[in-house]
Chains A and B, each alone.
Chain A
């Protein structure tokens, strides 16, 4: 298996990294670049814990080959705050107690961010539909949805 150098822009910073053909984007983000916000849950693209934004769209980094993602712009949960200042969704998740064990939270927030960025004033149904690929095994959906609605309403 031949390693290859790929270019990845993660949270606005360009990186050049050597990756193996069977490395997933998630493995490279976590193990080589230290972005451990993205989590490995199921490992087979069912739970959404590994969600990152690729060209501003949520994708599942556990089933995306790193080489396949070469040249793309990736945003992880570490990239949505500005220095110490948390992003509105992050603040809202804390305020609403939308975090229990926290394992699904990065994926939830990134999926929600893309929804709020691309759909103006999404309905409850649209929020639920957008989150249908992010599983919370603590079943904290009510508070997660409230946290997203609060950010939506603040933006009005």
Chain B
């Protein structure tokens, strides 16, 4: 059997969100939304997941559009490609942390296909889970494969697969919201609150719901931001850690700031304790050193996907110190 062929499928191309919801209600766990497909298609090819129906959402009006107004901010359709995010003049302007994060995802060809909604809804990653069907024949199945064992955290009672999406920390630092459509009225939720921390079901998304739009409030004057990603091999690799920092300062005094991390454990982290610690403080080597300790404590990185918690702590510390020095 040639595993590089896709399994048998039904391909659906609805024209409205309502149709997507109806299809999701009808086919339940046997279907998935197809946007860029850069994660989903390899998962299907490797037989990591099995599905009978794919629902392409890229032909739905509005889902591939970006709009901006000074009052409401930026509105990005879930099926907008990362390339279009990077190239959009507003995204690369006042929302530069988002453009930098989008640039950090994989490589050229993938960014031309992958979507922002897909990055937000990216399945969690694991050195063990993401192996071929053949590899799984030789060992007991983990939580994410329907078993009851975790190979990453020995003795773990849940799945600890990595929350790996690069754009997520940038979106959290921008206090972005999602519009999620379902059988009832569409709901809004902060990106920050969208993640469960359980690698098995990482998103707070019901089976019949779909993320349609990403809303990012206006960035007020005086705020500046930077996004950093550390990985072994430049961009074309999963992160050791990503860090996004937005800061409003008056000289060396921090008036307000937002810090978010991802790619370090099963959940992105909004570093609220570090934010509280630094608000109102003057940036100095001493405050940065103290703040790093607060940050590492609340980030609590795990050893996953080829990076140890030790390495992750070191990288978080280095990135944070760089960004704070740059900001001062």
Give the B-binding residues of A (Cβ under 8 A).
Answer: 1-2, 4, 21-24, 27, 40, 43-45, 48, 51, 54, 57-60, 62-65, 67-68, 111, 129-130, 132-133
Question: Closest residue to A23 on the B side, CB-wise?
Answer: B6
A128 → B minimal CB distance (Å): 8
**Are the C-beta atoms of A63 and B83 separated by less than 8 Å?**
no
A-B contact count (CB 8 A): 90
B6 touches A22 (CB 8 A): yes
CB contacts under 8 Å to A, within B29-55, are: 34, 37-38, 41-42, 45-46, 54
Known pairs A48-B107, A67-B13, A129-B234; list 5 more (Cβ under 8 Å): A4-B11, A44-B46, A65-B11, A129-B108, A132-B234
Q: Report the stretch among B109-117, B141-149, B201-209, B309-317 that lies at the interface.
A: B109-117
| Residue pair B112, A59 in contact (C-beta under 8 Å) | yes
B236 contacts chain A at the CB level, 8 A cutoff: yes
| Cβ B4 vs Cβ A43 within 8 A | yes
Using known A-B contacts A44-B45, A57-B83, determine if residue A22 contacts B112 with beta carbons closer than 8 Å. no
Tell me the bound Cα distance from A43 to B8 in angstroms.
17
**B108 near A65 (CB under 8 angstroms)?**
no
Chain B residue nearest to A115 (CB atoms) is B108
Q: Determine the distance from Cα of A58 to Cα of B109 in the docked complex, in whole angstroms.
A: 5
| Cβ–Cβ contact A48 & B109, under 8 A | yes
Expressed in whole angstroms, the Cα–Cα distance for A58 and B234 within the complex equals 19
Instruction: Tell me if B108 and A130 are in contact (CB < 8 A).
Output: yes
Can you list 6 A-B pairs with a CB-CB distance of less than 8 A? A24-B41, A45-B41, A48-B109, A65-B11, A68-B34, A133-B108
Collect the chain A residues with CB atoms within 8 Å of residue B108's CB.
58, 111, 129-130, 132-133
Classify chain B: how many residues form its interface, as a range. Answer: 20 to 34
**Bound-state Cα–Cα, A129 to B54, Å:** 32
Q: Is the CB of A132 within 8 A of B42?
A: no
Closest A residue, CB atoms, query B83: A57
Q: Give the contacting residue for A68; candidates B7, B37, B45, B109; CB below 8 A.
A: B37
Task: Pick from B54, B113, B235: contact of A60, CB below 8 A.
Answer: B113
Chain A residues with Cβ below 8 Å from B24 are none
CA distance A57 to B10 in the complex (A): 27
B58 on the interface (CB 8 Å rule)? yes
Which A residues are in CB contact (< 8 Å) with B6? Answer: 22-24, 65
In the assembled complex, which residues on chain A have CB atoms less than 8 Å from the CB atom of B112? 54, 57-59
| Bound-state Cα–Cα, A27 to B6, Å | 11
User: Which residues from chain B contact A133 at a C-beta distance below 8 Å?
Assistant: 106-110, 236
B265 at the interface (CB under 8 A from A): no
The answer to whether B37 touches A21, judged by C-beta atoms less than 8 angstroms apart, is no
Indicate whether B9 reaches chain A with its CB closer than 8 angstroms. yes
Q: CA separation between A81 and B41, bound complex, in Å? A: 31
Query: Could you tell me the distance between the alpha carbons of A130 and B107 in the complex, rounded to whole angstroms?
Result: 7
Residues from chain A with Cβ under 8 Å of B236 in the complex: 132-133
B34 touches A63 (CB 8 A): no
**Which 9 residue pairs of A and B lie closest in terms of their CB atoms, listed nearest first?**
A133-B107, A21-B11, A43-B4, A22-B6, A44-B42, A63-B41, A132-B107, A57-B112, A21-B9
B107 contacts across to A, CB distance below 8 A: 48, 132-133
**Contacting residues, chain B, for A43 (C-beta < 8 A):** 4, 45
Q: Is the CB of A63 within 8 A of B37?
A: yes
Q: A22 CA to B106 CA in the complex, in Å?
A: 24
B154 / chain A contacts, CB cutoff of 8 Å: none
Closest to B236 in A: A132
Residues in A neighbouring B54, C-beta threshold 8 A: 21, 65
Q: Does B56 contact A (CB under 8 A)?
A: yes
Complex Cα distance, B2 from A22, in Å, reads 13
Report Cα–Cα, A51/B113, bound state, in Å. Answer: 12
A63: contacting residue among B9, B13, B42, B58, CB under 8 A: B42
Distance between Cα atoms of A141 and B10 in the complex (Å) = 41
How far does the Cβ of A99 sit from chain B's closest Cβ, in whole Å?
A: 20
Confirm or deny: B5 has a beta carbon within 8 angstroms of a beta carbon on chain A.
yes
Known A-B contacts A22-B5, A48-B109; the reply to A1 vs B37 at CB < 8 A is: no
C-alpha spacing A58/B114, complex, angstroms: 12
B4 to chain A: which residues have CB within 8 Å? 40, 43-44, 62
A1 to B8, CA, bound (A): 7
**CB-based contact B235/A129 at 8 Å:** yes
A107 CB, nearest partner CB in chain B, Å: 8
Interfacial chain B residues near A59, Cβ < 8 Å: 109, 112-113
| Shortest beta-carbon distance from B215 to chain A in Å | 27
Residue contact A64 to B8, C-beta cutoff 8 Å: no
